[in-house]
Structure 1
Amino acid sequence: MKSIFIWLFITFACVPMAFSQTLSEAKELYLQGEYAKALPILEEEYKAKPEDANLNQWYGVCLLETGGDLKKAEECLIVASKKRIQESFLYLGQLYGQEYKFTQSEESFNKYEAGLKKKDEASRAKLDEKRKVMSRLRRMVSNTEDIQIIDSIIVDKAKFLSAYKLSLSSGKLEPFDKIFALAKHIDATVYTNEKGTKMYYAKPDKENLFSLYSKEKLFDDFGNEKKLSANNFGLSGDINYPYVMADGVTIYFAAKDEETLGGYDLFVSRYNMNTDTYLAPERLNMPFNSLFNDYMMAVDEEKGIGWFASDRYMPKGKVCIYTFVPNKVVKTIQSEDESYLAGRAKISSIKSTWQKNNNYKNLIALARQEAVVKVEVTHDFEFVINDNKTYYKMSDFKNRTAQSTYSKVVEMKSELKALSEKLEKLRADYSNASQDEKRRMSSDIYSLEKEVEQLQVGIPQMEIQARNQEIQAR
């Protein structure tokens, strides 16, 4: 019995020690910036002690830095700020900046700065960096484009191209894996122009850095692979999801860079035919870009519609495809209302982007309409038998004699074409020839003219013969 009491005593005595060690480890991870690793531990500790100001601070920061529940992060950081935990104001400023609440962001940063010691240069440098990010976001939100977003659809990331209903004149978009057979999955797309003569795509190099390439149609296959930009358009990260306008000059793509807002940003560039290079790319305005991944911009000029993809506020594995009406000229929203600008930049409501008295019903239906692929029927020839029947290939003939006769007609027409072209060239050369050459060429021209004349007379006669043979056999 005594041994049991000793065992129970040791067990319960170790519980707070284990709790302390776990919290200590989480705090150490937090201080090292390992927020993702610290988050699950701090979440459990927070559930046990939701009123603890320090836990609210640590848990709130981890949620913010890992892209978690921002509402919960704000709630926790406000609790910490009420207990005058200095760093809570710094992260509240960051959080409000990410939500485009810039007035509140600046107020929080000011409170953080007011509590700093004069010689605390490290904290001031940290504050300056976050203020720079906030100021940049503020400028971008103030330049939000006044774009009409008419529709949106949430789809699986793996099948997101299914939402792009391009007309035939706008080319086609396909997954990389459908076009190129590689051992591993490549998360990229391939754009092929309307005529099917050129394709644009992204692929990774040995360091797994994605760049853009093109290939041209050579006979039955594509070849002549070419990297679009030797310096990757001056960008430092992955470049992916290309789309080329019908002009063959304007290209949209998504890229990661030191200056991108969050993951992929959308860019546009133009090809300079004189230098065989692309101009420095321009980053698109909000709402096309955000603090999340924004990619695969495509504009269908025939439909007057564009699409782009974004994983903003989306659960893992899902993506939202926005449908919009492209502006002929970029027009930014003119407003001093911070809340309204924030909503337009984040696309809080697509209806807030609509123009008054505009009915988008037909445009939305057009955007969702699949392209109808016209099957072209190829004919070997066209031979009228009677008012109700026309033959287009040799197998249409029912009578073998008629078939044989018309086969000679086809040969004669081919010969007539070749002789006519030869005669035309001789006549063109005749005007620039010397007198001796003209005498020789005159004889050749006369002979060719006789042959052409005989064929021009003989072909209709043979056609009549073939037609009569076919009709009599029916």
Structure 2
Amino acid sequence: MNIRYLGKMTRNKILFSLLSLLFIVPLQAQTIDEARALYAHNKYEEAKPMFEKFLKSYPNNPNYNFWYGVSALKTGESDKAIKPLELANKRRVPDAAYYLGQAYLANYQFDEAVDVLESYIKTQQRRKKDTSDLEDLLQQTKLNQRMLKGVEQVIVIDSIVVDKADFLQTYKLSEESGSLTYITNQEVDSTGQKPILYQTERGNKRYLSQKNASGFYQLFAQTKLGEEWTEEKALSDLNKDSINISYPFVLNDGITLFYASDSQDLMGGYDILVTRYNTNTDGYLVPENVGMPFNSFYNDYMYVIDEFNNLGWFASDRFQPKDKVCIYIFIPNKVKRTYDFETTPIEELRNLAALKDIKLTWKDKKAVEDGLQRLKFAINYQPKQTNNADFNFIVNDQFVYTSLRDFKSNKAREEFIKYQVMEKDLTSQKDKLKNLRIQFEKNPDKQKAPAILDLEKRVSIMHHEMQQQAKLIRSLELQ
């Protein structure tokens, strides 16, 4: 090779390297400044891939680790945030411990979260900083830590990610379970949802959420008297100042009420609570947290149980983008059973609590198959219009009987005749109750109130007995 040519080629390489240093380094600096500007304006989704690129080139840079970790946490990737925030915290980057605690919490690593937050609070206190918000976060973390020891064994048969704006369309309730509708004239709450109105199957009572004078959502109830609804009555036992309470649903017993609240003394965001109406005091019992896996550090709400189809629904924005929500469909337990905290591997328990993989809950495959079949029926069910029908009795998603001649099982036919008698008695009692309410509205008399309450209870019991009779008829007919 020509020596002069080789020297010229070497000089060109050196010159190219110098030019690269002149142009590429400023370009890199400009890009990191852009990423930091996006970060400063809370545009974490845009900033995250830029920080990730620099982190690959400089994996031990504490600031890159911090910025990327926070961006990952803010965009719902708490699992990816932990390692970089651990490095940033170890290198004493300011506030790294705070975000690391949140990342642990969001990833169900509650023991680690408590340790980091307690240490960070002590540091802030030595610096004479206000730690009241941090202490609230620590209490939420400790509550999550305790709840992990009692994760309910519930079968979740399906999960569907939908737009927040129309999440109710995923709830396929039977007519026997009442109805849910949006209250369109109200603003969205902190979950990004319109408040919800629940109306009972009988159409005589409804529960709704509306803003009070302080701007917080509270629960109200209305009763139908004749063709008119009474004034909205606040559920004062449940409503509290500076706390949002919404998403009501009542079981067919007319007593058990589920709702959601964003109180600071709960697990985080909205939590699902359950209470029961006490007829003796005309008030509600102290609410209970339904616990994991239904509740989490995120927003969890609109818990519904369809007793007719033995299916349940609830919504959660855990691990979801800002405009999405996941609807979990589960099989309600008649008796609550929990996983053994001492024998269940901690990673498995975390996944069960977070519902990261619903198939982990499929301990009983037959129950899952039956549940999916009931869900299919609920999704595909449409009331069938029949002319000259003696009655309309739904057997399954394929058959609606309109005459006693349709029954193939003699035993099922006999039980259906009993069902018709029960239906007639229930209609009679409903009419009686309606008349009593109208009379009471016109002439309020406290002595008549117990009779109305007793009759309401009797009607509720009769309604439940009819549902059980219908289940028996279907079982006998489909044997």
- TM-score of the two chains, using structure 2 as the length reference: 0.62
Q: Which residue of 2 aligns with 1:291?
A: 297
Residue of structure 1 equivalent to 2:383: 373
Larger Cα Rg: Structure 1 or Structure 2? 1
Q: Which runs of 5+ in 1 are unaligned?
A: 1-11, 380-474
Equivalent residues in 2 for 1:218-237, closer than 5 Å? 218-220=225-227, 222-230=228-236, 232-234=238-240, 236-237=242-243
Partner of 1:330: 336
CA deviations on 1:196-240 (whole Å, 9 max, x unpaired) are 1111111223433111122222333x4112324225444741111
Structure 2 match to 1:197? 204
- Residues 1:274 and 2:286 aligned together: no
CA-to-aligned-CA distance 1:223-281 (integer Å, 9 cap, x gap) = 11232422544474111111111111111111111123332110111111122111121
Q: Structure 1 residues 41 and 164, CA, compared in 2 at 3 Å: closer, same or farther?
A: closer
**Cα pair distance change 1:122/1:334, threshold 3 Å:** same
Query: How far apart in 2 are the matches of 1:46 and 1:85?
Result: 16
Structure-1 separation of matches of 2:186 and 2:235: 26
Instruction: Report percent identity of matched pairs.
Output: 34
Q: Measured at CA, do residues 53 and 368 of structure 1 come closer, stay the same or move farther in structure 2, by a change above 3 Å?
A: same
Tell me, yes or no, if the aligned pair for 1:189 and 1:242 is still in contact at 8 Å. yes
Change (3 A) 1:272 1:266: same
Look up the SS of the partner of 2:63 in the other structure.
Answer: helix
Number of residue-to-residue matches in the alignment? 352
Shift of residue 372, structure 1, vs aligned partner: 4.2
Single out whichever of 355-364 and 55-64 deviates more from structure 2.
55-64
The 3 A distance-change label for structure 1 pair 39 and 319 is closer
After superposition, the CA RMSD in angstroms is 4.0
DSSP-derived class of the 1:295 partner = strand
Rounded Cα–Cα distance in structure 1 between residues aligned with 2:299 and 2:145 = 19
The answer to whether the 8 Å contact 1:155/1:321 transfers is yes
Aligned residues of 2:150 and 2:341 also touching (Cα < 8 A):
no
Distance 1:246-1:94 versus aligned 2 partners, 3 A rule? same
- Whether the 8 Å contact between 2:187 and 2:194 is mirrored in structure 1 is no
Structure 1 position 40, deviation (Å): 8.1
1:99 aligns with 2:107: yes
- Corresponding residue to 1:346 among 349, 354, 361: 354
**Aligned equivalent of 2:176:** 169
Question: What TM-score do the two structures reach when normalised by structure 1?
Answer: 0.63
Return the match for 1:60 from 50, 63, 69: 69
Contact 2:141/2:267 (8 A) holds in 1: no
Query: 1:301 maps to which residue?
Result: 307
One-letter identity of the residue aligned with 1:285? G
**Partner SS for 1:54:** helix
Residue 352 of structure 2 aligns to a residue whose secondary structure is helix
Give yes or no for contact 2:44–2:75 (8 Å, CA) kept in 1: no
Q: Is the counterpart of residue 215 in structure 1 residue 222 in structure 2?
A: yes
CA distance, structure 2, for counterparts of residue 198 and residue 225 of structure 1? 12
Question: Displacement of 1:164 after TM fit?
Answer: 1.5
C-alpha displacement of 1:93? 3.9
Structure 1 residues 356 and 38: CA distance shift in structure 2, 3 A: closer
Instruction: Tell me what 1:76 maps to.
Output: 84
Q: Are the counterparts in 2 of residues 191 and 243 from structure 1 also a CA contact under 8 Å? A: yes
Report if aligned partners of 2:197, 2:209 keep a CA contact under 8 Å in 1. Answer: yes
Look up the match of 1:148: 155
Alpha-carbon distance between aligned partners in 2 of 1:60 and 1:298, rounded to the nearest angstrom: 36
* Structure 2 unaligned residues grouped into runs of 5+: 1-22, 390-479
Residue 136 of structure 1 corresponds to which residue in structure 2? 143
**Aligned-residue offset at 1:325:** 1.2
